[in-house]
Structure 1
Amino acid sequence: MAAVTLPTHYRNVFAELGYAQAEIDARIENTFHTIFYGDEAHRFYHPTGPGLAYIEDTGNHDVRTEGMSYGMMLCVQTDHKAEFDALWSWVMHYMYMQDGPNAGYFAWSCQPDGTPNANGPAPDGEEYFAMALFFAAGRWGCGSGIYDYAAMARRILHSCLHKGEKPGTGRPMWDPENHLIKFITECDFTDPSYHLPHFYTLFSLWADEADRPFWAQAARASRAFLHKACHPVTGLCAEYSLYDGTPHNRSDRDQRHDLYYSDAYRTIANMALDYAWFGADPWQAENAERLQKFFCETLCGRTNGIWEIDGTPLPGEALHPVAITATNAQASLAAGGPNAEVCVRRFWNTPLRDGPRRYYDNCLYFFALLALSGRYRIWPL
């Protein structure tokens, strides 16, 4: 395996553009307070008793592994251990599956009272849980039981790769041959926004030793896959893709998923963070510039539409326009040129979203805020 060099400096793009550090810090603190402790119209973190809390998907009125793992990542990056532990305790109490073929995974959706809505996992939750737990171990140290963060992260990743090796034990979350993450364990296609090569690079250092070569290869495979999944002119990708990068639309769903739509917005933000941390793929910077050019020059700043990945507009409006603004700005960790500054300033002037769809937008908003201020960091073991 090639040696991995961890970053020693994290760009503060806001400061580079002249924003005062006190103003940046206040924006981060206010955003955390609004999401976690604001009034009922704005927060979506909900304590449910001593040492337990959940993040609500306010658009669907449920609790998802996506949101719980996002909340944990936001907490470890902002040094809020009590909230991190409360979320993780809720996850282990209500979402962790101990029986059946999916034992060792997490039910991807539950009701706010903890009743499962599903008996299967969503791989983006597992990969974020593992990374947040490793960072917690690096930042705060490990406790015992479920608070032995590093041991729990390794347990999750072991399940992700080794399920199905014995009959009746479910299926793995990564394809063992092509090293690409699946959309769900039962399928043979993927979601480009699930591909987190920067996480896999760290898993190759900290996961079970026997699995580290797999994670190193997974990082390389995901970077190569994203070249195929993103359009060569617009930089856009679909929500779902075949392993060769072709946009994929599930035939069993009414809603199309071969478009640039909700899940897909995260992809450029993920690539930009990978570029900022490791700089392993110069193409990521080029793709970020293509995407920003599409939104800034072709669309003149419009972020409320639906598009084919070649940029063809379609009827309807985006469910999460603030998420587009946020991820376009986070792309500036990789992109250069005039559109990078335009996207960051547009994001800075955008408030948190109100209303029932605020959960997804505001999670991506907070991630972009941390990334662009140099506060989305690796916390090494």
Structure 2
Amino acid sequence: MEVIAGTIASPKGFYADGIHCGLKKTKVDLGWIVSEVPANAAAVFTTNQVQAAPIQVTKEKMASGQLQGVIVNAGNANACTGAQGYTDAQQMAIAAADHLGVAADQMAVASTGIIGRPLPMEKVTAGIAQLQKTGDPQAFQKAILTTDLTEKQIVIQTQIGGKTVTMAGCAKGSGMIHPNMATMLAFVTTDAAIATDLLQQLLRELTEVTFNQITVDGDTSTNDMVLVLANGLAGQPEIQKDTADYHAFKEMFQAVLTALAKEIAQDGEGATKLIEAKTTGAVSDEAARMISKTIVGSPLVKTALFGKDPNWGRILCAVGYSGQPIDPNALSISLAGILVFEAGKPVFFDEECMQEKLEGSAIEILVAMAQGTGQGMAWGCDLTYDYVKINALYHT
């Protein structure tokens, strides 16, 4: 398995483009991903009960299990916009499909941006007409960003069934991040041949240990979506469950989703540090994941690490209210690689060394439970002054 340079259009038979259509002042704000042939499709969506029109439309289009592309805009979420919003999302799909010469039920829709504003459809439809099948794939990555400071993408290749299989992923997400799911859009393309049902099963399984293990601010958005397209053009035999090819594909898939999840956490609004929490020895993997996610979601932990304060008591407190079985007298905590708590008692440490460690841009927290074999990880970021500034002024 090798990480290579590339874009969301690197797998065989995929294209992408992005343009500025006027939803944002100057930045690229409209794009699409297109497959040469209908692709087997899988998706997971926000669990927020208030769901934006593009989510509703794309759920309907997923019924066939195949898609040929997705049209995406940033700058306007088309959420909480009533019947007109639903009609506008449908019209986006129709306009993109007509421009490509494919069926409208083969075109998914995604939007991100401000909630509660109708889409200016004259700008959207005019922009769709400018998109090119063989346009600029990197521009698509730019077209999905809102408050993001960085583009998030990865391309991986591996050998499956005697053929080179490529998988690419890109994502946006910076604030309102607390999956299941978060204000994030993620798109994955692959030229592997895999049945829709198996692809959907794998996506759900891997989402639990990747995207659903990140948190920035505890808010779950109305528009979140992870969409995967597999067009089979690599030419390898179709992947069958529990085979060597299946495990190779799963490893690649998990690597792509993990990389994107960590990039989203690291690019949290105003963030200066990626926080990675790992719990081992829990009563189950699920318990370990929930403990880890509670730690990275704690405002007190997040602010302490922003201030470079080794306040491990806040970590222990978060473990205690995680809702999972714990024995505080049998666990240990390490912060930035330094043991700070063990067997119910503090461990004295070199404060200068700790201060130097906390200057880093990535901080690891390890909780060892000694209660079982469960293990799990979660990712978050620090909570800074800039987070408040960005969200206080988001609408203005």
Structure number with larger C-alpha Rg: 2
Return the TM-score normalized by structure 1.
Answer: 0.26
Question: Which is richer in strand?
Answer: 2
Question: Which is richer in helix?
Answer: 1
